[in-house]
Amino acid sequence: MSALLSIRDLTVHYRTRRGPIPAVDRFSLEIREGDSVGLVGESGCGKSTVALAIMRYLGTNGRVAGGQILFRGRDIATLSPRALRDYRGGEVAMVYQEPTSALNPSMTAGQQLAETFRDSDPRSVRATVREALAEVQIGDPERVAAAYPHQLSGGQQQRVVIAMALLSRPKLLVLDEPTTSLDATIEAGIIDLVGVLQRRHGMAVLYVSHNLGLIRQTCRRLVVMYAGQAIETGDTERLLVRPRHPYTAGLLACLPRPNSHKQRNPLHPIVGQLPPPHALPPACRFAPRCAFASPGRCDTLAPSLVESDAGSVRCIRATEIDLSIPPPSPEEPNYPTTNDVVIAARGVRKTFALPIRGFAELFRRRRLTANDGVDIVARHGETVAVVGESGSGKTTLARLIAGLDTASTGEIVVLGEDVARTPVADRRAALRSTLQMVFQDPNDTLNPSHSVARQISRAIRKLGSPTLTASARRAEVARLLSLVRLPPDVASRLPDQLSGGQRQRVSIARALAGSPQVLLADEPASALDVSVQAAVIDLLLDVQRRAGTTLVYISHDLAMVRYLADRVYVMYRGRVVESGPVGALFAPPYHPYTEALLSAIPSVDGPSDQRIVLSPAGQAPGRGCPFAPRCPRRTGEICDTTPPPVQCPEGDHMFSCHLTPDDLGRRQAMPSREGR
């Protein structure tokens, strides 16, 4: 097969006020017709810049400083404006990360698709649009074509974007993190769709992603980037099973594996952080963070990409180091737990009044039920995970426990005190110190206007010891920073001057100021890169080990939950549909929803051919089971009309379903995907 696209020694610079900074450094890549290639790396490694360079779309401050990109032997830098237009869209199409901003909010999906054929006969255009939407497996093309983007779910929007990209039958489809903003069950559907379309049209696909599990399912070949350079390439299976570059191995060690648990296998975060592009290490760019770096060699000799049968690798020690042996774990982790119940919530219900629409609603406000009779228990020293898709009510539950919102009915007993209707401002100071929260978004968890020291000392004064002298408080700030493994000079910085991972550590340090017994963590690592994510999780577990802290971990990342949780609650539409110890929950029998969630986990190892793809959540639940409209195991009328009974197969494992554990235990024959 001939090369469809070949990138040769591509170097891209971005112009900034500080002078040009290199974003991509002599990057080479060859994509053949019909090939699927994955480009992975953490944020800032230059992978999106490569994607944009392929589109010749670097913006006003980006410049190709060297090398060339050949499409079927033609250098795309030489294309005339007209030829460039035909090239973009016609030969190569791109799907961006955020479908909401890729679609025009003031046009219907159908109009946007029809734009491509402005000059054709309207009737045939309409038929083409319908076909295009049906091709991306949209169930109701007529309705979707007539809908504005805001009336579509995230998954549907992304399907429309893909349909648009495919209209002109491109030879190469570039997908830049196409599913990062979507729920796992929806993500699985999009990934499958791209695979189907690729095979049907024989397109080549370049997948840009930070998610190694996802890449594994879609790509035959992988390129791993670090600090603007390709550091390892090769067949996906080989590269994920036997990585040859320490960075690739490090990335894999950051991921929780299906059979690992915090008790047995600690995660191994990569130390340090990505060097900024204007201060790159002189020789090997990974050397300062590399556990295998040999002084005198790795910091003086710049490695080049060495080709071999198994792919290429940029490491001078690639042949002499053994990456298969994981670094020894420091000590046998021991998590002290007792049976004391720290949080006990019973029948928690929270409704929000919706905005008034129309006269009748003045008297009967429509209400949204975010939590609908939730029971949850957390014991001392335990990690309790609450999982579910976005909109399942898990964050609302956390906010109710925290007192940031108050429950409509039900009780939330924290350390023997019912606080369901006590907002945090009215709670006892001691209770506030005891129960702290770590928030999701590292970008707004810290106040951008105040220094780290100021924010932590404020927390010390309010949660810990209000009477400390200024110097004692400074010492306490330094102690808390060292607890979260940050150097003391971070204290004087503003949040803007910290990376996402550092900010999240500061926010943990702030929560620890009053030595809390309970930490509520609302997706504390979901916005972070894998290596940083591992470090933050590691840190939370470290805190838990030392202080016997109860961790309530809110997440949609089931792989991580399986790794760190002791007990798990699965929420769907404001209700707990299944709960139990992590071992029981992650083994059959499952609630059908849990089963779907589990099957959607993109994994870097183990078979993953069978996935349950759920239709997007749509209809409001009736009186019956809230999951019935999407349930692949729906038995019949009873699911829609009768609330499912709570069943208890063993111990404290329970779920609500009309099917018996025996029914559910028998693995249903799932529709297998089209051959890989």
Partner 1 sequence: MTVNGAPTGYDVPAAGGLGLRHLARSPAALIGLAIIVFWVIVAIAAPWLAPHPPNTPLQALLPPGSETARGAFWLGTDQLGRDILSRVIWGSRRVLLYAPLATAFAYAIGITIGLMAGYWRGWIDQALSRVSDVVLAFPVLVLYILIITTIGASGLNIVIAVVFASTPGVMRIVRGLTLDARGRNYVAAAQMRGEHPLAIMFVEILPNVRGPLIVDACLRMGYVTIGIGVLGFLGLGLPPPDPDWGGMVHEARALAFVFPHIVLFPCAAISSLVLGFNLLADGLRELGRQ
Closest distance of CB 491 from partner 1, Å: 10
468 binds partner 1 (CB under 8 A): no
Note whether 173 and 190 are within 8 A (CB). no
Among residues 81, 118, 279, 358, the one that binds partner 1 under rule CB under 8 A: 279
Closest distance of CB 428 from partner 1, Å: 9
497 binds partner 1 (CB under 8 A): yes
Among residues 437, 453, 596, 631, the one that binds partner 1 under rule CB under 8 A: 437
Note whether 103 and 157 are within 8 A (CB). yes
Can you read off the two tokens belonging to residue 520?
A: 């509520």
Identify residue 533 by its one-letter amino acid code: Q
Among residues 61, 151, 300, 447, the one that binds partner 1 under rule CB under 8 A: 447
Among residues 404, 413, 415, 646, the one that binds partner 1 under rule CB under 8 A: 404
402 binds partner 1 (CB under 8 A): yes
Length of the chain: 676
Closest distance of CB 392 from partner 1, Å: 20
CA dist., res. 451 & res. 457, Å (int): 10
- The three-state (H, E, C) secondary structure of 489-535, written as one string: HHHHCCHHHCCHHHHHHHHHHHHHHHCCCEEEEECCCCCCCHHHHHH
Closest distance of CB 516 from partner 1, Å: 10
Nearer to partner 1, 496 or 652 (CB): 496
Window contacting partner 1 (CB under 8 A); options: 162-170, 259-267, 334-342, 442-450: 442-450
446 binds partner 1 (CB under 8 A): yes
Identify residue 528 by its one-letter amino acid code: L
Nearer to partner 1, 355 or 607 (CB): 355
Q: Give me the 212-231 binding string for partner 1, x by CB under 8 A, dash otherwise.
A: --------------------
DSSP state of 571: E
Closest alpha carbon to 138 in 114, 112, 110: 110
Window contacting partner 1 (CB under 8 A); options: 7-15, 157-165, 398-406, 583-591: 398-406
| Beta bridge mates, 31 | 5
Among residues 180, 259, 319, 449, the one that binds partner 1 under rule CB under 8 A: 449
Backbone angles phi, psi at 463, to 5 degrees: -105, -35
Q: Give me the 17-36 binding string for partner 1, x by CB under 8 A, dash otherwise.
A: x-------------------
DSSP string, 410-440: EEEEETTEE-TT--GGGS-HHHHHHEEEE-S
Q: Give me the 474-493 binding string for partner 1, x by CB under 8 A, dash otherwise.
A: ---------------x--xx
13 binds partner 1 (CB under 8 A): no
DSSP string, 303-338: P--EEETTEEE--TTTTT--TTSPPPPSS-------
496 binds partner 1 (CB under 8 A): yes
Can you read off the two tokens belonging to residue 20?
A: 């040009």
434-455 burial code (b ≥16 CB/10 A, e <16): bbbbbbbebeebbeeeebbbeb
Provide the CA 417 distance to its chain's centre, in angstroms. Answer: 35
Among residues 463, 537, 543, 628, the one that binds partner 1 under rule CB under 8 A: 463
Note whether 303 and 282 are within 8 A (CB). no
432 binds partner 1 (CB under 8 A): yes
Among residues 94, 318, 459, 559, the one that binds partner 1 under rule CB under 8 A: 459
Site for partner 1 in 542-601 (CB under 8 A): none
400 binds partner 1 (CB under 8 A): no
Nearer to partner 1, 22 or 170 (CB): 22
Window contacting partner 1 (CB under 8 A); options: 3-11, 126-134, 166-174, 443-451: 443-451
Residue 104: partners with Cβ closer than 8 Å, 6 or more residues away = 112, 149
458 binds partner 1 (CB under 8 A): yes
504 binds partner 1 (CB under 8 A): no
667 binds partner 1 (CB under 8 A): no
- # residues contacting partner 1 (CB under 8 A): 40
Other beta carbons less than 10 A from residue 75's beta carbon: 11
Cα–Cα–Cα angle for 613, 615, 617, rounded to 5 degrees = 130
445 binds partner 1 (CB under 8 A): yes
Q: Is 540 helix (H, G, I), strand (E, B) or coil?
A: helix
Nearer to partner 1, 120 or 447 (CB): 447
Give 327-332 contacts, CB < 8 A, sequence gap 24+: 327/253, 327/268, 327/291, 329/265, 329/266, 330/266
Give the footprint of partner 1 on this chain (CB under 8 A).
Answer: 17, 276, 278-279, 402-404, 424-425, 427, 429, 432, 436-437, 439-441, 444-450, 455, 458-459, 462-463, 489, 492-494, 496-497, 507, 510-511, 513-514
